[in-house]
Structure 1
Amino acid sequence: MDSTKNVGSPDRDRINVNEDYELQYWSEKFGVSRDRIKEAVEAVGTSVEAVQKYLNK
């Protein structure tokens, strides 16, 4: 069974904006709002690397 408490790897290269705990994790990690994470994913896709580049520009 997949537990939302396990937020380590295997999917740390993709961001799922449909999961609240992932939005929380990535917004804290990048120091931006959840809406900013959603905006970045909409602009560049779910790749963590692409989202990080988008947020840093």
Structure 2
Amino acid sequence: MKTRLTKSEMEIMEVLWDEGKALTTSEIIQRSKEKEKEWKDSSVHSAYKKFNEQRCYQSRGI
């Protein structure tokens, strides 16, 4: 099944792909600041939940 991601979700996935390893919400937020973009904690949690539901990405201990 094809999954469509929002622009922000895609940016979060790119942070994960660039890093090449699992990141905590805090680490993702820190990386976003480095890219002059800042996500809220709730936004990252929502994206992780969607990724897990759609099996785009599997995280541990949301």
Q: TM-score range by the shorter chain?
A: 0.3 to 0.5
**TM-score normalized by the length of structure 2:** 0.31
**TM-score normalized by the length of structure 1:** 0.32
